[in-house]
Structure 1
Amino acid sequence: MRMVFRWFGKENDPVPLTHIKQVPGLEGIVWALHDVPVGDVWPLDQIAEVKKHADQYNLNIEVVESVNIHEDIKLGLPTRDQYIENYKLTIKNLAKYGVKVICYNFMPVFDWVRTELYKTHNDGATSMFLEKQQIESVAPMELVKTVSYDNSYSMPGWEPERLKHLAELFKLYEGVTEEDLWSHLQYFLEQVVPIAEQNDIKLAIHPDDPPYTVFGLPRIIKDRHDLSRLVELVDNKYNGITFCTGSLGIKPENKLEEMIKAFAERIHFVHIRNLRRYKNGDILETSHRTEDGDLNINKIVKTLHEIGFHGYARPDHGRQIWNENCRPGYGFYDRALGIMYLWGLWDAYNQNYYYRTKLKLNG
């Protein structure tokens, strides 16, 4: 397992690389050019600048999250072909600077959704919270008014330019079905996967978060069935998965350890986090520790160890603790704690493997 850490850049992230490099076992940053408009080609000089900065701290830039997909591609509009060509050029440019994995998603309009960014825990820490009833009760046009005036739904990873055109986007998606979205994803992958393979960059789709329909928009990467369909669209190891325990774990019927084993060869990137599920469908993000949530992080890490996972992993959304001034979900302190918890589990499994192997060799 190769540990990496999401970082939003010198201008956008309060966490400096001087801190990140001090986390034991951390190899690189998970980054993006957040100021490049979605659909544009990522310029070589800007990629080079990120690499130059990371090199100063002996951190690699091998994982990008995300090269976002233009809405015209998701909608299947005639203009999608130019945006797909731009995507191919971006892949080629990233390959020149050693990028090995591109995480992306195919969620219409929104990426991940939460209803509260600073839900207070009993111990005073805060984390992100999803109130399912609130999501289900907000009509799309009411949401447009909310976002337009107070930006209360804005979160890390969202594209500000999309928020300015919500009404137009909702109108464009009227009548777009899940089958339509699958067709548009296949069209995209059939063109970009060969380019990714030629440049030795693995594409890793992120599951929908939450893994169900929101605001009437179709969602297609929600469970084991969807992941099976995804890998079959283009049967090539460069068409792979970002296995996000928090996104998939929202649905209790998603058996995460079984899914890891089923898609072992296609999992190129792992996001590890924990959460608390409530009977009414609400979700509260917790510490990474198994006992603090409803996901068995212990067994998840053990399964990754058993399949011999050598891909990239990062601690996902953490809590805001110790009065840290940080992006919601992306503070330094709790994610660093999460890494050490994950390494503790991994080291224990390494020791168990060593002693089992030694016993076998000694008869």
Structure 2
Amino acid sequence: MKMVFRWFGEGNDTVSLDQIKQIPGTEGIVWALHDVPAGDEWPMDKIMKVKDAADKAGLHIKVVESVNVHEDIKLGLPSRDLYIDNYKKTIAKLAQVGVKVICYNFMPIFDWLRTDLHKEMEDGSTALFYEKAMIDNVDPFDLVKRINENSKLTMPGWEPERLQYLTQLFEAYQGVTQEHLWANAKYFLDEIIPFAAEHDIRMAIHPDDPPWPIFGLPRIITSQENIRRYLQLHDSPYNGLTLCSGSLGANPENDIVSMIHEFADRILFTHIRNVRVYENGDFIESSHRTQDGTVDIAGVVQAYHEEQYEGYCRPDHGRHIWGEECRPGYGLYDRALGIMYLWGLWDAYQKAAAAEGAAAK
């Protein structure tokens, strides 16, 4: 398991590369050009700026999250070929600087959805929170305004320059069903996967967050069955998965451990985080500790260990603790604690496996 840490770039992150380097066992950053609109070709000078900074800190840049898919591709519009061509040009550039995995998603309009970015927990920390009743009744335009008022830093998937066209986007998705989205995803994969394979970059789809339809918009990467279908749309080792235990874990019916065992050879990147799910459908992002949430994090790490997972892993969203002022979900302290919890589990399973092997001799 190769540990990496998400970083949003100079001037756009409260966490420094020097701090990331000091987290034990962390070898690289997960990055993107967050100021480049979805669908645009990434400029090489901006790519090199990130690479140079990471090289100086002794960290690699092998995982990108994400090269966003333009809405015209998801909608299947004639203009999609232009944006797919730009996507290919970006892949070619990323291959030049050693990128090996691109995490992306196929969620219409919203990359993720929460109703409160700083919900207070019992211990005084705060975390990202989803209130089902509010989503069922809130105007999405009001929610967009609330999200963008909460932070001076960019919020992935909620960029104002994209969401200013929210009315037009909702109109464009009128009548678009899940089957339409499946067909448009296959078109994208059939164009992108062979090109990515030529450049030795693996594409890793991220599950929908949360894993169910919102505001009448279709969603498809929501369950074990649907992930299986997506991977079969283009059956190639370059068409892989970013398995996010937090996104999928918001639905307690999703068996994350079973998914790891079934998709082990196609999991290129994993986000490990815990969520506490309530009976009314609400959920909050807890610490990574197994007992603090609903997801069996110990079982998740054990499954990866049993599969001898050698892909990339990052701690996903953390709580906001010890007075840290940071991008919601992306502070230093709780994610660093999360890494050490994951390594503790991994090391324990390693030691147990070694002892079992010695006893068998």
Q: Which residue of 2 aligns with 1:353?
A: 353
Please state how far the C-alpha of 1:153 moved relative to its aligned partner.
8.0
Q: Deviations 1:61-93 (Å, cap 9, x if unpaired)?
A: 000000000000000000000000010111110
Q: Which amino acid aligns with 1:244?
A: C
Please state how far the C-alpha of 1:202 moved relative to its aligned partner.
0.6
Q: Which amino acid aligns with 1:156?
A: M
Q: Which residue of 1 aligns with 2:265?
A: 265
1:151 aligns with 2:130: no
Q: Which residue of 2 aligns with 1:57?
A: 57
Q: Deviations 1:206-247 (Å, cap 9, x if unpaired)?
A: 000000010110000000110010010000010010000001
Mapping for residues 208-357 of structure 1, pairs under 5 Å: 208-357=208-357
Report if aligned partners of 2:73, 2:83 keep a CA contact under 8 Å in 1.
Answer: yes
- Of 45-54 and 176-185, more deviation after overlay is shown by 45-54
Report if aligned partners of 1:301, 1:346 keep a CA contact under 8 Å in 2.
Answer: yes
Q: Distance in 1 between matches of 2:93 and 2:41?
A: 9
Q: Distance in 1 between matches of 2:44 and 2:266?
A: 28
Mapping for residues 83-98 of structure 1, pairs under 5 Å: 83-98=83-98
Which secondary structure state, in structure 2, belongs to the residue aligned with residue 56 of structure 1?
helix
Please state how far the C-alpha of 1:338 moved relative to its aligned partner.
0.3
Which secondary structure state, in structure 2, belongs to the residue aligned with residue 151 of structure 1?
helix
Please state how far the C-alpha of 1:151 moved relative to its aligned partner.
3.3
Which secondary structure state, in structure 2, belongs to the residue aligned with residue 193 of structure 1?
helix
Which secondary structure state, in structure 1, belongs to the residue aligned with residue 301 of structure 2?
helix
Q: Distance in 1 between matches of 2:286 and 2:42?
A: 35
Q: Distance in 2 between matches of 1:59 and 1:150?
A: 31
Runs of 4+ displaced beyond 6 Å: none
Mapping for residues 5-16 of structure 1, pairs under 5 Å: 5-16=5-16
Q: Which residue of 1 aligns with 2:43?
A: 43
Which secondary structure state, in structure 1, belongs to the residue aligned with residue 86 of structure 2?
helix
Residues 150 and 336 from structure 1, CA distance in 2 versus in 1: closer, same or farther, beyond 3 angstroms? closer
Q: Distance in 2 between matches of 1:135 and 1:116?
A: 11
Report if aligned partners of 1:31, 1:61 keep a CA contact under 8 Å in 2.
Answer: yes
Please state how far the C-alpha of 1:160 moved relative to its aligned partner.
2.3
Residues 152 and 215 from structure 1, CA distance in 2 versus in 1: closer, same or farther, beyond 3 angstroms? farther
Please state how far the C-alpha of 1:144 moved relative to its aligned partner.
2.1
Report if aligned partners of 1:114, 1:153 keep a CA contact under 8 Å in 2.
Answer: no
1:201 aligns with 2:186: no
Report if aligned partners of 1:147, 1:153 keep a CA contact under 8 Å in 2.
Answer: no
Q: Which amino acid aligns with 1:44?
A: M
- Structure 2: give runs of 5+ residues left out of the alignment: none
Q: Distance in 2 between matches of 1:135 and 1:161?
A: 23
TM-score in terms of structure 1 length: 0.96
Please state how far the C-alpha of 1:147 moved relative to its aligned partner.
3.0
Report if aligned partners of 1:115, 1:153 keep a CA contact under 8 Å in 2.
Answer: no
Report if aligned partners of 2:115, 2:143 keep a CA contact under 8 Å in 1.
Answer: no
- Of 153-162 and 234-243, more deviation after overlay is shown by 153-162
Q: Distance in 2 between matches of 1:105 and 1:323?
A: 32
TM-score in terms of structure 2 length: 0.97
Overall identity of the aligned pairs, in %: 58
Report if aligned partners of 2:256, 2:300 keep a CA contact under 8 Å in 1.
Answer: yes
- Structure 1: give runs of 5+ residues left out of the alignment: none
Q: Which residue of 2 aligns with 1:69?
A: 69
- Of 155-164 and 58-67, more deviation after overlay is shown by 155-164
Q: Distance in 2 between matches of 1:346 and 1:303?
A: 10
Which secondary structure state, in structure 1, belongs to the residue aligned with residue 57 of structure 2?
coil
Q: Which residue of 2 aligns with 1:117?
A: 117
Please state how far the C-alpha of 1:148 moved relative to its aligned partner.
4.9
Q: Deviations 1:144-191 (Å, cap 9, x if unpaired)?
A: 255358835887212322210100100000000000000000000000
Q: Which residue of 2 aligns with 1:171?
A: 171
Q: Distance in 2 between matches of 1:148 and 1:14?
A: 23
Report if aligned partners of 2:148, 2:160 keep a CA contact under 8 Å in 1.
Answer: no
Which secondary structure state, in structure 2, belongs to the residue aligned with residue 112 of structure 1?
coil
Q: Which residue of 2 aligns with 1:130?
A: 130
